Structure 1
């Protein structure tokens, strides 16, 4: 099984994967932790690695912080290629209820231009605290749907929401319309604890599906799956995780979490996710190919 971890800032530490294919290579974006050496720009950041087979990855870059809104850190990227450009949707970090979604784009997948309206989206409504993190996007007709995690007003439960912007727009703050006046998916099952986060969108048989992370990190966090006909109303496929944490002693014994669903040019879907076995001292990213058990109508996974 593929396991990747960046060692540029802290040994074996990569979280929150997002993957695209651009110009004949695969690019992996992920969260990297602070340097920890007292640097003035010492906050969470985003690393970039490349591969030609989805299994063997080499780090090639790290995005530098930009503007006051990224001063405390930025991380948890979601990525998509539109019209030959990589679009990153990522969060500010370290601002509590004020963390919000930012946008940047790139023609080469490495050098990014920030949206001048950053941050471009924050949650609204009395059902949430205003925070928006863990972005993922998917094309739906002539719109781009943006999924994000927030918390309830008491800052206890992590919840999922959705917004939309025209595909023809610049994805600035005036382009997004929040589509929900309550959470579209919130923790209800025992294994989900007080948290649903890390929405990861893909299609199966032309129907929109979402992998999601249930429970906070190392609770253990595990991965569930839901489907929707309209992108707003969601139904779980099972009351159990579709990808649980590993057995004691295995590399992901503490967590299988924060999914990302990458759809390749041939239509194959690949689940990238994070795991560890030391309560978060290290983090690895791994990959499984998504197949389908048609009898049970559930995803299954292949190395």
Structure 2
């Protein structure tokens, strides 16, 4: 089993350029050397493009997918190494979404440990809702699993993995062929071992919980723009063709090169024809590295709900956000995105204030935790009580950041009464090994940097004698952090000199954005108590 560190390196390496076709793929991909000689079917007038204020899913929502159930659209997205697993969101117009829960709200599936990627939500003709998803198999490699529910909001029953090839299998997408038979399309994750990346299709059983028959290769990375991979397949049938939207090249981080292409075929198993004008969706003045999404139609308009980074600055700190891009069907039959290279509509405004009074009996669904280290916590009388842990930077609960400039605050109760060896406070969280924190304990206030699992103190002050201590973390530009405290919540004292900030460029993992939230480190018998959390976005 590869270590996580090796896997990061392999993914980021950009291993191969265009690869030669295998025998199956040679028979399955046609070169498009001249226009088809056929009459274009009559089409209604192109709808007037809608003004879409993106992101429609603000925050870290990679690999989003969408399906329609009745009059409601349901979406989900990659949760990676944050739990709970796979958010569930709903909307009536594709632009305004509410987070209502998770596919796996408590414990992750027993067969998997981490890398919960690329869930594809699908409401099938049999009346059930399915989520086909990727996860790392315990003691194995990446595999595609499936869960089902009688209602899109759940509860979901996990059915375990469907396919897990030696090099890994990811990005499952369900589709019916031209005869109405259910199939699963997925990517063989061979770029992780410096090999080409075929897209495969294989029949699904009637209950969608197993693959049957033989798999067929549809196509693989062959074009120069695709780099070392094709992935994230999603298919829609239109005017007698199957159209397969796919992402290619480097997905993540400051050096990303992601873009979106399309291929089409009369029959699901091919032969497939890649569009000679690929990529059809690329970086513009607002959104960088667009890709991995699902096509959906509403009121005569066609869209791709996909992810992208916001262009400029330390964009990777917020993460890959959910973006809705409109496209039209051209006279040649191929899709064409509107405003591909410019985005005249102003970006959507994120909420100015996001606050949690911890008033309910359960934690709000926006809170997350490291998926392998779910902390113990309880809500009572408007307080959050977080049980400490002695390792991995402590117990942590965080919320996704929504903008590059923000201020987060919370109130820590009775900091001077924390047990010996216990610290608690507020932190910007990359993962359990990377954080910037303001912590109280042992008579001190400290600003700490935890980088690659190693901790150092950046600033220190005496702990004021207060029954409640207000703590603040501020971020400017996505990676410049400042920390402050206040005994009364009105007069703040900065812990770093006025001319200094803590550098947070190291915080985001290669595939995730930064969270901000509360932490408690110390013996498992210790508990830290917090009141009110507030996130102010600029």
TM class, shorter-length: 0.7 to 0.9
Deviations 1:200-257 (A, max 9, x none): 100120211101001121431100010012212311012430111224xx2x22x011
CA shift in 2, pair 1:279/1:135, >3 Å: farther
Native 8 Å contact 1:45 1:75 kept in 2: no
CA shift in 2, pair 1:21/1:150, >3 Å: same
CA shift in 2, pair 1:71/1:97, >3 Å: closer
The Cα of 1:268 is off from its aligned counterpart by 5.0
**For residue 21 of structure 1, what is the aligned residue in structure 2?**
68
**For residue 151 of structure 2, what is the aligned residue in structure 1?**
108
Native 8 Å contact 2:280 2:337 kept in 1: no
1:145-294 to 2 correspondences below 5 Å: 145-152=183-190, 155-156=193-194, 157-166=196-205, 169-173=206-210, 175-180=211-216, 183-218=217-252, 219-233=256-270, 234-247=272-285, 250=286, 252-253=287-288, 255-264=289-298, 269-276=302-309, 277=311, 278=314, 280-281=316-317, 282-294=319-331
Separation of aligned partners in 1, 2:140 and 2:274: 28
The Cα of 1:172 is off from its aligned counterpart by 2.4
Separation of aligned partners in 1, 2:263 and 2:65: 19
Rg larger in structure: 2
CA shift in 2, pair 1:206/1:269, >3 Å: farther
Q: Which of 311, 318, 337 is the aligned partner of 1:301?
A: 337
CA shift in 2, pair 1:232/1:130, >3 Å: farther
Q: Which of 24, 32, 36 is the aligned partner of 2:79?
A: 32
Native 8 Å contact 1:246 1:256 kept in 2: no
Native 8 Å contact 1:27 1:48 kept in 2: yes
The Cα of 1:85 is off from its aligned counterpart by 1.9
Q: How many pairs align?
A: 274
The Cα RMSD (Å) is 2.5
> Gaps spanning 5+ residues in structure 2: where?
1-51, 340-538
Native 8 Å contact 1:189 1:239 kept in 2: no
Separation of aligned partners in 2, 1:17 and 1:160: 19
Separation of aligned partners in 1, 2:277 and 2:251: 19
The Cα of 1:179 is off from its aligned counterpart by 2.6
Separation of aligned partners in 2, 1:192 and 1:21: 30
Deviations 1:91-133 (A, max 9, x none): 11376962111111122212143344x112234xxxxx44211
The Cα of 1:194 is off from its aligned counterpart by 0.3
TM-score by length of 2: 0.47
Q: Which of 130, 133, 137 is the aligned partner of 1:87?
A: 130
Separation of aligned partners in 2, 1:139 and 1:104: 18
CA shift in 2, pair 1:178/1:16, >3 Å: farther
Native 8 Å contact 2:80 2:115 kept in 1: no
The Cα of 1:63 is off from its aligned counterpart by 2.7
Deviations 1:42-95 (A, max 9, x none): 5x8311111111111111112324432233242311122123221111111376
**For residue 126 of structure 1, what is the aligned residue in structure 2?**
none
Native 8 Å contact 2:109 2:158 kept in 1: no
The Cα of 1:148 is off from its aligned counterpart by 0.6
Native 8 Å contact 1:115 1:172 kept in 2: no
**Corresponding residue SS for 2:99:** strand
Native 8 Å contact 2:249 2:258 kept in 1: yes
